[in-house]
Structure 1
Amino acid sequence: MIGGLRTALALIGFAVLALVLVPLQYLFLKTGSTLQNRLPRLFHSILARLLGFRVHIHGEMVKDRPLMLVSNHVSWSDITVLSTAGDVSFIAKTEVRDWPFFGSLAVLQRSVFVERERRGKTAEQASEIAKRLAVGDAMVLFAEGTTSDGNRVLPFKTSLFGAASAAIRETGSKSGPESGVETVTVQPVAIAYTRLHGMPMGRYLRPVASWPGDVELLPHLKIILREGALDVDIRFGEPVTITADTDRKTLARTMENRVRAMLQTSLIGREMGSE
């Protein structure tokens, strides 16, 4: 009964939020207003509350630009959670564009959609990401290429890490506002879903929050709405400054190790601290 009421109230809140802010974002995109980068953070901050997420931020997003954020990926809700922490855009799979409601949000947040399985398009897709980095957009890369169970970090895929170095090469031969990019900052980020109704989730309850790829979106959204009280850690780690010559595979391994260590800090620290 309580879960049904919570779900109904959240859905009403979604409707009001979408009716008010989505048309504004569409207008900002059409007019080129700088508010197009800021409004999504407000939108997702309210959305996170409606979903019942309590976000705990450790560290901070660096102010250096160009900036690529490299994160683990647990659920569709990572987009909302990370968006509460700063003005960001996402590198997302093309399938995301077709998700109900959240696909439209991804488009309005100026996501770059990529086809990871088409290796022949890697250079073209990296170039598009590089252009966004070069003009100062903070881009989030979910480097695992898929969602995990939230208890671990899957091996990072290296192909799109080349976008960071490409941002330097793309602007090196240009003049104007996109010229002069000599380095790119790459910062690791770990997302950990830690508590449910104030109690440690543990590895067996974490599927409440995690969203493996074979689970339908809407049924999982209903579970989140019914529960209505999830604690999430976002940890910003030590950034790396790269140049055009930085090896993308080495960079990927460095980011993977740092994200894995931060994830374990959140999971072990939260769960052991409450025993």
Structure 2
Amino acid sequence: MMTSLSGLWLTLALLAASPQYTPAMDQSQWQISGDQFQCQMQQNLGAMGTLAFSKKPARAIEMQLTLHAAHLELQDVQGQVVSAGWQPEQMAPAVQFSPTFINAKVARFIEQVPLVMQQLQQGYWLQLMLDMPGQEVTLTVPNLKSSQALAEFQSCIDGLLPLSWAQAREFQLFYPINKRQPSADDAAYLKTLALYIQQDKAVKKVLIDGYTDDMGSSIANRVMSEERADEVASHLIEFGVNKNKLEIRAHGNRYPAATGDQTESHNRRVLIRLIRTQS
């Protein structure tokens, strides 16, 4: 606790004395963490805060500056790529970036982040101009011995799930009249979904509900809805999903999603829902 407080006091004293701040070089290292749901590459900026790159399934890489010092608040942030401390300043490429989201403690960057990552791979550093109440501070973020960290970060990204949970948790397939087989596009998605189900160990059950329009008899519609659901289940099993996780239910023309002649196509459907529990 005393070490943390002394670090904070030192940071505030440095900012009061000079608008320039660079973390201690011996502590400026990228730390990699993550799993199949999120990857992160983070650097501790001393008592001032952290800078982190993160990637989630089916989302772009984000960069986030987080201030930890209680007395510091962000009003605006502008960033740029700069040369390393030992390089001539004119060597730095003209890469600038602004936050997509900002509040008093957090600035999040998205648009230019892939380009920023490319420059980190080339050994360049980052510089953030922090506009805070009553002062402007230039924060320099060293980028030392980053090759291995960047390789580990990319390796983590390569192992991310192919879909986010929001994308995977529920999906509907729609059918032309009297068709039972999924379309080519739907079959391709089922292959991706199967990969997600296999890798996300928290998925304990997959509900597959078949529905039809009301153009046939109740018995015929129930049979059709079951055949469509069975076909979806067969695809998932073929793509590697454990059949014991699947629960197939046929509803025929009950529970319409829409009514009216022009919306019957919305009722010819199979709904897939993933049931996920925390282990």
Query: TM-score, normalization: structure 1?
Result: 0.24
The structure number with the bigger radius of gyration is 2
Higher relative contact order (CA 8 A, sep 6+): 1
Greater fraction helix: 1
Greater fraction strand: 2
